[in-house]
Amino acid sequence: MAKIVCVLYDDPIDGYPQSYARDGIPEIKAYPDGQTAPSPKAIDFRPGELLGSVSGELGLRQYLESQGHTLVVTADKDGENSRLDRELHDAEIVISQPFWPAYLTAERIARAPKLKLALTAGIGSDHVDLQAAIDRNITVAEITYCNSISVAEHVVMMILGLVRNYIPAYQWVVKGGWNIADCVACSYDLEGMAVGTVAAGRIGLAVLRRLKPFDVNLHYTDRHRLPEAVEKELNLTWHANIESLAEVCDVITLNCPLHPETEHMIDDAMLAKMKRGAYLINTARGKLCDRDAIVRALESGQLAGYAGDVWFPQPAPGDHPWRSMPHHGMTPHISGTSLSAQTRYAAGVREVLECYFEGRPIRNEYLVVDGGKLAGVGAHSYSAGNATAGSEDAARFGKNR
């Protein structure tokens, strides 16, 4: 029998919900590219429940314990003697989320001799040292497409929030004010602006499709160019590199995976290539950006705004400068963990576990590493290597929050 360690974020501060704002959620059976939604044999939760926190347990306990397996669920993942570290020695499977990542560094993998599967409840497996997983023949999988549209919606919301200066205007209301001039002094129309995405995969393309009705000029760069029919349909301008895109866009949204080749791709030099007063949105990974370069660009006015819900490390230390920099619209990493998305990624985790324990192949589109090499979505989106360096800094959050 297997031991499964599941790392999830903390429950709400006022306790696990006893009721919800809505009675249910729409059922999504397939995604825009035709891929079917997760299809486990069964689920032990009601769609729309809070599943991503500790008490939600991704709806897995009944299933796993009925099969004789041991499930350990914890939010304690960072620092010396964390619960995660104490449980690794005999864990066969580690499940984590991008929103509250269990950083599986080479050192942790070395302390987990029985580890066979690192499973991401969501999209993005850069919290796993992929090279170490390759070397150890550990399977790495994620629930591809489960929350791509969730993130795309969040991107559009953040673009509008920055350009229209929504958050400061809302804060005037909360403070009891009616300061119209203050609210509109930094407010513009999105219409007519040039908006570009760095990567036009599932999320990036979904963002482009949702922005087309806003009558903006759409641009993209991606190492995999979109079909000509899609470019014509959306009136897209393709750029061979990010430098070319940066020079012409008023708004840039980052939707690419994090790996050693993309780490800190947005630095002082890249920011200097952007239009003065551009807006930058990052719902991909915090480490795509040089943390302090973003702060400097906002303070100097090179960037008019920065919004995102990804940080490095996660959770972010209480003194992380992105919490207090000017003209930001940051949120915790929530874009891909709406209650709707949780239903899909929890079902996907159940599907992968059923395949694993029954000896059936895991969907190719879910695989990141398999058989000692990049596979499936991993071969398309990632490069071998390690992007977990520096993750130990997450332990500071517990001291500073």
Single out the catalytic residue among 333, 344, 350, 363. Answer: 333
- 297 close to 327: Cβ distance less than 8 angstroms: no
**Sheet of 373-374, strands arranged across:** 70-74, 3-7, 93-96, 117-120, 139-142, 367-370, 373-374
Single out the catalytic residue among 147, 255, 282, 302. Answer: 147
Single out the catalytic residue among 127, 219, 285, 320. Answer: 285
Single out the catalytic residue among 314, 342, 350, 363. Answer: 314
Pick the closest to residue 271 from 258, 289, 286, 253 (CA basis).
289
SS3 338: coil
- 91 close to 70: Cβ distance less than 8 angstroms: no
Residue 316 CB contacts under 8 Å (≥ 6 apart), including other chains: 286, 322, 323, 397
Strands 303-308 and 217-221: unpaired
d(CA 244, CA 77): 40
Pick the closest to residue 203 from 246, 251, 256 (CA basis).
256
Residue 176 CB contacts under 8 Å (≥ 6 apart), including other chains: none
Structure tokens, 65: 């314990």
Q: Is 314 a catalytic residue?
A: yes
Taking CB atoms within 8 Å and a gap of at least 24, the contacts of 20-25 are: 20/48, 20/49, 20/50, 20/339, 22/48, 23/48, 24/48, 25/339, 25/340, 25/343
d(CA 250, CA 195): 6
Beta-carbon count within 10 A of 74 CB: 16
- 228 close to 245: Cβ distance less than 8 angstroms: no
Q: Is 320 a catalytic residue?
A: no
Q: Is 147 a catalytic residue?
A: yes
Q: Is 255 a catalytic residue?
A: no
Q: Transcribe 250-317 into DSSP letters.
A: SEEEE----STTTTT-B-HHHHHHSPTTEEEEE-S-GGGB-HHHHHHHHHHTSEEEEEES--SSSSPP
Burial of 217 (0-12, 13-18, 19+ CB in 10 A): middle
Q: Which active-site residues does the annotation give?
A: 147, 285, 314, 333
